[in-house]
Amino acid sequence: MLKKSVVSAEDLKGVPGVDPERVAQVTQVYPMRINPYWMALMKSKGAPLIHQAVPREAELVDTPLLEDPLCEEKDSPVFGLTHRYPDRVIFLVSNECALYCRHCMRKRKVGKGAGAVTEASIEAGLTYIEKTPAVRDVILTGGDPLLLSDEKLDAILKRLSQIPHVEMIRIHSRVPATLPMRITEALCAMLSRYDNLWINTHFNHPHEITEEAEKALKRLNTTGAPLGCQTVLLKGINDEPEVMAELMRRLTKNRVRPYYIHHGDAVKGTGHFRTSIETGLAVMQGLRGHLSGLCVPAYVIDLPGGGGKVPLLPDSIISQNEKSLTVRGYDGGTYTYPL
């Protein structure tokens, strides 16, 4: 199915509002890949799906932004591995994705030949983890780890599982949203053999939770790996509280626990997706209390320069004295909490 993906501008005929010439300019800098599943979804569901996949001129004009503001490269002891927090690493095991998201924070890398993940870089990463006892949690990402063959992924999971200090492995994949048919029975049978796995998906809009995606999530749930979701706050796509609430409800209905809503990082080529922090806080206000607590993820900003992720919450304390706190409830009412 991936081989039939749209990768050049002229194949985008018929998609509303697309100017092939402009798309072609962008694809010289950042690759495009829209697989047939997503193409069909764009046609039936419209703008939220189109904007995440079809290049826009704006990707070329946000020059003050940096390619790697989070300094993933600076905190990288070996190519493709970022060791920032004491006990966990990000490990790039694939350079490809089933769809190249226009908002990708690793836009500088994904889908590009230069600086790609190779067998040798994977080996170097595994060796680093083996030699570094502090690492207890390994996050497989990329690109998308589920674009590896079952055999390759199995080999990586096996190696990692043999390391005594590695207590857990996370797979970060957008495939359940972008190519749900990749979640095959064979893949899930392989994943089920590991009892140290967590799987974090990446859904951004309720329209991504199709019948096929629900089937994929159901299968993934049979592996025993707890499922989470990392959503990126995207201007014009999911920055309304109602849209985000619907997404969170549909995720938990499929037993996917929302983990993070990421504020869009200041990554070059993605500036047009960034919202204000107030917008993000308003979205959070629309979730907490209104929905089951299991539907409410943490809203995080990732500090530039490698400072790590920090959760942001709407202010709930209105005032405080020795005897009490004055607090805003989820319903907007004002309450006094005795101290």
Ligand X SMILES: *Cc1c(COP(=O)(O)O)cnc(C)c1O
Write out the residues near ligand SF4 by the rule CB under 6 A: 97, 100-101, 104, 106, 110, 142-144, 174, 202
Q: Point out the residue whose Cβ comes nearest to ligand X.
A: 84
Write out the E strands in the chain. Answer: 81-82, 88-92, 137-141, 168-172, 197-201, 227-232, 257-262, 298-303, 308-311, 317-320, 324-328, 334-338
Buried/exposed 98-127: b ≥16 CB within 10 Å, e otherwise: bbbbbbbbbbbbbbeeeebbeeebbebbbe
Start-to-end Cα distance in the chain: 61
Residue 26 or 101 having the CB closest to ligand SF4: 101
Residue 56 or 106 having the CB closest to ligand SF4: 106
The torsion angles phi and psi of 272, rounded to 5 degrees, stand at -70, -10
| Residue 101 interacts with which of ligand SF4, ligand X, none, CB < 5 to 8 Å by class | ligand SF4
- Residue numbers 71-90 binding ligand X by CB under 6 A: 82, 84-85, 88, 90
Residue 30 or 260 having the CB closest to ligand X: 260
| Residue 290 interacts with which of ligand X, ligand SF4, none, CB < 5 to 8 Å by class | none
User: Which of 11, 45, 75, 84 is an active site residue?
Assistant: 84
Q: How far is the CB of 144 from ligand SF4 (least distance, A)?
A: 5
Residue 53 or 291 having the CB closest to ligand SF4: 53
Can residue 262 be called a binding residue for ligand X (CB under 6 A)? no
- Residue numbers 292-311 binding ligand X by CB under 6 A: 309
CB under 8 Å to 228, separation ≥6 — which residues?
198, 199, 200, 201, 256, 257, 258, 259
| Residue 262 interacts with which of ligand SF4, ligand X, none, CB < 5 to 8 Å by class | none
Q: Which residues pair with 78 in a beta bridge?
A: 81
Can residue 223 be called a binding residue for ligand X (CB under 6 A)? no
Q: Which residues pair with 331 in a beta bridge?
A: none
Q: Is 84 among the residues known to form the active site?
A: yes
Q: Which residue has the tokens 């997706």?
A: 273
Q: Is 309 among the residues known to form the active site?
A: yes
DSSP, collapsed to helix, strand or coil, labels residue 306 as coil
Catalytic residues: 84-85, 88, 97, 101, 104, 106, 265, 302, 309
